């Protein structure tokens, strides 16, 4: 286990912030109950892993629990095969749902009685429109829909009809139970969505017990509710559904009402994530199955040899937010390498062998080298016996007849070190009739064995090798990215997007003997090649098959101009630099120049006041209430627009506990120098909360502003003394430090220092250099 490295500090993403807030307010009594609710109609993938890590991780962090729930409301699509694979995958990722394994289908009976409750309340009705009719009458995003002719059926009739549906007296599609909400609702989801449909189908769990099945929106909130979920976390596309989620639970009596929270699902570059496309890859035979090591499925990653730890680390590193974004696959690869680096013992293997004969090695002699399994910076002990002889295989790629510039490997007449062994010199190249190199005849420098006295002779390169007589044959499967384009979803077709070289099967490779005796599930590094492990399905003793989990970084290959293995096609989708600049410049009305005659503010600001009678009355009231000539209408308007309106949070201004005269008084405190604008904000909030007058708040909180230099100077000097370096930087032209220093003085004064005076003093000090 690679747990000795300090865990990355977890960031407080917005969901953790919500939970922290709930725990402070006691909203759920300190409980955190989450759930992972997959539909058992496909295999889980890395995108689900993000959600699993989030839900189970949160529960673990906060000492709560996370349920695993099969969202099996659609009998025609779901299958037990999937419920098993899902459980296996979640468990493999390292999470435990304990007793809390559920099926939405367990709640069907309760859901239908909730449906009856809604029917009786006149909140649901049985509708006989066909699918097409329903679509046609739903309206569009800009036009309202038209009500169903059955919308006003009496509750008792609806109840009778609904019971007929449930009893199986009606054929598929004959009618549905619909929520009675509003056919003109701006949120399309609220336009009387169907809750229950008729499906005479065999369900993988409830068998033929039901012939009606609830739809997602109705089923999901109730499943969460009956399980006592507190935080129902789902992906962004369900944001529109939240209103419906809340509607159902608000309209049912005495039900628990979880909070739905949406976050951005994972998108990965060079990867497809949709079930449909993944299924197509399997069906079209582009991959060998759901667990093909190139697949982003959990099963595929597992078979490739990726560890659960690296997936969890990845989930933590990408964070959780609401911005729709695409994580570059390099980040995932980095997590995989990082985990394997400290986990995998190092061994030697040759993928494409080239014979090397050591001409001066004693005939038939075999030397057993004691070779360390770990590099110097992995704090682990251990070595294995590595047989060395006069007949070896090296990697074909490690020899070049005409070496390019910067070549560190073997070339005619050149020297390299054989890892853990000797330095050899290539004396002779044997080629066949076609000119292909078939053998190298080399001489070995017998004084240079690793660890021996004279071993420190330096040569440019070190290469891997195996002894021909001891080499164990193996098949290597070299996997790389399935797609060669960054955004395969945007590609026209597979043909164009698929990487033709995503799997290279190398038969005739050789591994050192120790590789055959490692535990079956051990992750290994074949030095200079990558991380591997034995394929769990196909590798057998005597017929070894190793999957490459991930290659090593290769700065040599990357530096070679032509050979760059990286993407051939790049579909760039920078949503930046679109011309937004130009467009806005054309459409913007300049606000700076013209001021509104009575209010003295830019027209655009005045418009806010003018267009809303309520605001206008308030502003005018404030202006006329205060005879103090130091207060201009502009000050009032700015205070109202920029501070009061947002603080009021949409409440009618007339109901505010700060009346126009009070607001004018507040402005007066600022112009009079009693408080700063910053403090004014605080006072405003207090007035709104408690109904006190501004002056009373200032008095109670002791906010009176410090403006005299006599009390300010010592504070400024103290801060400057403490931050000498910052003052120097400020003098050097880093004006941002001005804000920092002023802020420090303000903090020291408990917020009472007059900021503009402080700023002047700091500027003076800086100028005094």
Partner RNA sequence: UGGGGCGUCGACAAGUGGUAAGUCAACGGAUUUUGAUUCCGUUUACCGCAGGUUCGAAUCCUGCCGCCCCAACCA
Query: What's the token pair of residue 32?
Result: 């955190």
Q: Which is nearer to RNA, 657 or 734 (CB)?
A: 734
Q: What is the 3-state secondary structure (H, E, C) of 383-394?
A: EEEEEECCEEEE
Q: What is the 3-state secondary structure (H, E, C) of 304-364?
A: HCCCHHHHHHHHHHHCCCCCCCCECHHHHHHHHHHHHHCCCCEECEECCEEEEEECCCCCC
Q: Which is nearer to RNA, 287 or 394 (CB)?
A: 394
Query: What's the token pair of residue 2?
Result: 């690679």
Gap between the Cα atoms of 706 and 694, Å rounded: 18
Shortest CB 755 distance to RNA, Å: 3
Shortest CB 121 distance to RNA, Å: 22
Shortest CB 757 distance to RNA, Å: 9
Using the CB atoms, write b or e for 346-383: b if 16+ within 10 Å. bbbbbbebbebebeebeeeeeeebebbbbeeebeeeee
Environment class of 193 (CB within 10 Å of its CB; exposed 0-12, middle 13-18, buried 19+): buried
Shortest CB 67 distance to RNA, Å: 14
Shortest CB 287 distance to RNA, Å: 23
Q: Which is nearer to RNA, 439 or 643 (CB)?
A: 643
Shortest CB 117 distance to RNA, Å: 20
Cα separations (Å) of 398 from 448, 461, 510, 561, 631? 20, 10, 15, 18, 83
Environment class of 435 (CB within 10 Å of its CB; exposed 0-12, middle 13-18, buried 19+): exposed
Q: Which is nearer to RNA, 378 or 437 (CB)?
A: 378
Single out the catalytic residue among 275, 322, 616, 681.
275
Contact between residue 240 and residue 141 where contact means Cβ atoms under 8 Å apart: no
Q: Which residues on adjacent β-strands are paired with residue 234?
A: 262
Q: Which is nearer to RNA, 158 or 448 (CB)?
A: 448
Q: Which is nearer to RNA, 294 or 726 (CB)?
A: 726
Residue 474: φ, ψ to 5°: -155, 160
Residue 122 half-sphere exposure, CB side, CA atoms within 13 Å? 4
Shortest CB 620 distance to RNA, Å: 18
Shortest CB 733 distance to RNA, Å: 11
Single out the catalytic residue among 138, 163, 265, 352.
265
Gap between the Cα atoms of 89 and 299, Å rounded: 7
Q: Which is nearer to RNA, 460 or 700 (CB)?
A: 460
Q: Which is nearer to RNA, 331 or 446 (CB)?
A: 331
**Helical packing angle, 108-120 and 155-167, nearest 10°:** 160
Environment class of 225 (CB within 10 Å of its CB; exposed 0-12, middle 13-18, buried 19+): buried
Gap between the Cα atoms of 51 and 235, Å rounded: 9
Q: Which is nearer to RNA, 269 or 499 (CB)?
A: 269
Q: Which residues on adjacent β-strands are paired with residue 533?
A: 547
Shortest CB 321 distance to RNA, Å: 4
Cα separations (Å) of 389 from 363, 386, 415, 757? 9, 10, 18, 84
Q: Is 674 a known active-site residue?
A: no
Q: Is 133 a known active-site residue?
A: no
**Helical packing angle, 660-671 and 613-625, nearest 10°:** 50
Q: Which is nearer to RNA, 24 or 575 (CB)?
A: 575
Shortest CB 646 distance to RNA, Å: 4
Shortest CB 751 distance to RNA, Å: 8
Query: What's the token pair of residue 677?
Result: 């604008």
Contact between residue 93 and residue 309 where contact means Cβ atoms under 8 Å apart: no
Q: Which is nearer to RNA, 202 or 607 (CB)?
A: 607
Gap between the Cα atoms of 366 and 358, Å rounded: 12
**Helical packing angle, 242-250 and 216-226, nearest 10°:** 60
Gap between the Cα atoms of 290 and 315, Å rounded: 22
Single out the catalytic residue among 27, 39, 116, 419.
39
Q: Is 265 a known active-site residue?
A: yes
Gap between the Cα atoms of 169 and 158, Å rounded: 15
Q: List, by residue number, the catalytic residues.
A: 39, 265, 275
């Amino acid at each position: 286990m690679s747990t000795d490295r300090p865990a990355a500090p977890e960031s407080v993403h917005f969901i953790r912030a919500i939970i922290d807030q709930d725990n402070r307010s006691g909203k759920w009594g300190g409980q955190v109950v989450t759930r992972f609710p997959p539909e058992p109609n496909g295999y889980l993938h890395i995108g689900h892993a993000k959600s699993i890590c989030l839900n189970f991780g949160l529960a673990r962090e906060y000492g709560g629990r996370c349920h695993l729930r099969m969202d099996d409301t659609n009998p025609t699509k779901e299958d037990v095969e999937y419920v098993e694979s899902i459980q296996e995958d979640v468990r493999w990722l390292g999470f435990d749902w304990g007793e809390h394994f559920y099926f939405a289908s367990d709640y069907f009976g309760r859901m239908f009685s909730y449906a009856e409750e809604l029917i009786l309340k006149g909140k649901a009705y049985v509708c006989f429109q066909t699918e097409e009719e329903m679509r046609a009458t739903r309206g569009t995003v800009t036009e309202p829909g038209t009500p169903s002719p059955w919308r006003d059926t009496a509750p008792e009739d609806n109840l009778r009809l609904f019971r007929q549906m449930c009893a199986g007296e009606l054929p598929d599609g004959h009618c549905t139970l619909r929520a009675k909400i509003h056919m003109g609702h701006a949120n399309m989801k609220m336009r009387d969505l169907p809750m229950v449909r008729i499906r005479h189908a065999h369900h993988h769990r409830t068998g033929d017990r039901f012939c009606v099945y609830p739809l997602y929106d109705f089923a999901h909130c109730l499943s969460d509710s009956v399980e006592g979920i507190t935080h129902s976390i789902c992906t962004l596309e369900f944001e529109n559904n939240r209103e419906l989620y809340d509607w159902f639970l608000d309209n049912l009596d005495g039900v628990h009402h979880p909070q739905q929270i949406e976050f951005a699902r994972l998108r990965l570059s060079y990867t497809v994530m949709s079930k449909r496309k993944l299924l197509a890859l399997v069906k079209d035979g582009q991959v060998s199955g759901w667990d093909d090591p190139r697949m982003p499925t959990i099963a595929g990653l597992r078979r490739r040899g990726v560890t659960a730890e690296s997936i969890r680390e990845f989930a933590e590193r990408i964070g959780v937010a609401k911005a729709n974004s695409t994580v570059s696959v390099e980040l995932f690869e980095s997590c995989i390498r990082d985990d394997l680096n400290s986990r995998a013992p190092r061994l030697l293997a040759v993928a494409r062998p080239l014979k090397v004969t050591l001409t001066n090695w004693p005939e038939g002699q075999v030397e057993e080298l004691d070779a360390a399994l770990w590099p110097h910076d992995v704090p682990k002990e251990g070595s294995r016996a590595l047989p060395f002889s006069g007949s070896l295989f090296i990697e074909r790629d490690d020899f070049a007849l005409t070496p390019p510039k910067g070549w560190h490997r073997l070339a005619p007449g050149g020297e390299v070190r054989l890892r853990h062994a000797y330095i050899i010199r290539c004396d002779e190249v044997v080629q066949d009739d076609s000119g292909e190199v078939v053998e190298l005849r080399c001489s070995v420098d017998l004084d240079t064995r690793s660890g021996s006295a004279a071993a420190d002779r330096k040569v440019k390169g070190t290469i891997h090798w195996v002894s021909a007589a001891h080499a164990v044959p193996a098949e290597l499967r070299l996997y790389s990215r399935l797609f060669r384009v960054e955004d395969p979803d945007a590609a026209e077709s597979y043909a164009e997007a698929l990487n033709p070289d995503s799997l290279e099967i190398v038969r005739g490779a050789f591994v050192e003997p120790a590789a055959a005796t490692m535990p079956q599930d051990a992750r290994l590094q074949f030095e200079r090649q990558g991380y591997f492990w034995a394929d769990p399905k196909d590798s057998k003793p005597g017929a070894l098959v190793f999957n490459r989990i991930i290659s090593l970084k290769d700065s040599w290959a990357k530096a070679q101009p032509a050979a760059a293995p990286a993407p051939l096609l790049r579909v760039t989708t920078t949503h930046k630099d679109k011309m937004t600049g130009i467009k806005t410049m054309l459409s913007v009305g300049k606000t700076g120049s013209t001021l509104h005659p009575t209010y003295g503010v830019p027209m655009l600001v005045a418009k806010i006041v003018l267009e809303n009678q309520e605001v206008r009355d308030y502003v005018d009231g404030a202006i006329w209430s205060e005879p103090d000539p130091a207060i201009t209408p502009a000050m009032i308007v700015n205070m109202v627009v920029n501070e009061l309106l947002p603080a009021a949070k949409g409440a009618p201004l007339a109901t505010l506990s700060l009346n126009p005269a009070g607001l004018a008084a507040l402005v007066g405190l600022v112009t009079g120098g009693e408080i700063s604008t910053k403090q004014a904000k605080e006072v405003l909030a207090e007035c709104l909360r408690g109904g006190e007058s501004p002056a009373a708040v200032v008095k109670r909180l002791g906010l009176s502003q410090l403006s005299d230099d006599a009390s300010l100077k010592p504070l400024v000097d103290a801060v400057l003394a403490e931050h000498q370096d910052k003052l120097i930087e400020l003098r050097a032209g880093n004006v941002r430090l001005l804000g920092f220093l002023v802020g420090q003085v303000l903090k020291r004064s408990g917020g009472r220092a007059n900021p503009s005076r402080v700023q002047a003093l700091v500027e003076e000090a800086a100028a005094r250099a």
